Amino acid sequence: MSLAIDRLWNGLLDTLLMVGVSSMLALALGLPMAVILVVSGRGDLFPSPTVNRVLGWVVNLFRSIPFLILMVALIPVTRWIVGTTYGVWAAVVPLTLAATPFFARIAEVSLREVDKGLTEAAQAMGFHRWHIVWHVLLPEARPGIVSGFTITLVTMINASAMAGAIGAGGLGDLAYRYGYQRFDMQVMVTVIVVLVALVTLLQFFGDRLSRRLNHR
């Protein structure tokens, strides 16, 4: 019994590490991408149709590739970056590359929903364009960005379980090796319960933070 609990605990920690590192990287990369997509459009703060089209194409490309295919296709890149294609750190690379464009598009939608009148008023008051981004666009879009990041986290947990089933460790590996391959329904059900609880907690705290940041 204690061995099973240890395996479950280690699987949970691996999943949290996998998703935690990947999500921070996705946030650090995806939010700037969303800002560039918004401000580089025609008639926006930094109009650059070429940059907008190229970045939009890259985002759409990675969003259209199913995670399992992306993970396999990135094996050489993963090996080059982390030195292995097996384990938690090997899963961080494809998870990050899958989550970054997904989050970038969600954050882009939130940024575009900011009232244009606010940015026009800031421009009329003489604000520098980057000041408008930092002090108008991002603060006003925070509730939507937090909600989008919460959705991204939930999606990444689902993807991490898939990654675990093909050698990345975590709860997915536990469910596959000790549940599916050994026909142990108790292990499968336990992993499902833990994943549902984890997703529920993330969604609850994400929604609560989003509501707290919404001052409209």
User: HSE on the CB side for 109, CA within 13 Å?
Assistant: 11
Helix 88-112 to helix 49-63 angle (10° resolution) is 130
Residue listed under structure tokens 């939009």: 56
| Residue spans per domain, the chain | 1-213
CB-CB contact of 152 with 23 (8 Å): yes
Retrieve residue 23's tokens: 């999500």
Cα torsion at 63, 19, 201, 185 (round to 10°)? 100
Query: Contact 22/96 with Cβ under 8 angstroms?
Result: yes
- The answer to whether 54 touches 156, Cβ cutoff 8 Å, is no
Per residue in 172-204, pLDDT tens? Answer: 777 777 766 667 678 788 888 888 899 999 999
Predicted local distance difference test score (pLDDT) of residue 147: 92
Q: Exposed (0-12), middle (13-18) or buried (19+): which is 21, by Cβ within 10 Å?
A: middle
Classified as helix, coil or strand, 5 is: helix
pTM for this one?
0.87
Provide the residue type at 190 as one letter.
T
Output the pLDDT for position 215: 65
Using one digit for the tens of pLDDT, what is the confidence trace for 83-112?
877 778 888 898 999 999 999 999 999 998
> From CA 29, how far away is CA 187, in angstroms rounded?
36
CATH no. for 1-213:
1.10.3720.10
Q: Is the pLDDT of residue 216 over 70?
A: no
State the Cα–Cα distance between residues 59 and 151, nearest whole angstrom.
Answer: 17
For residue 37, the Cα-to-chain-centroid distance in whole angstroms is 17
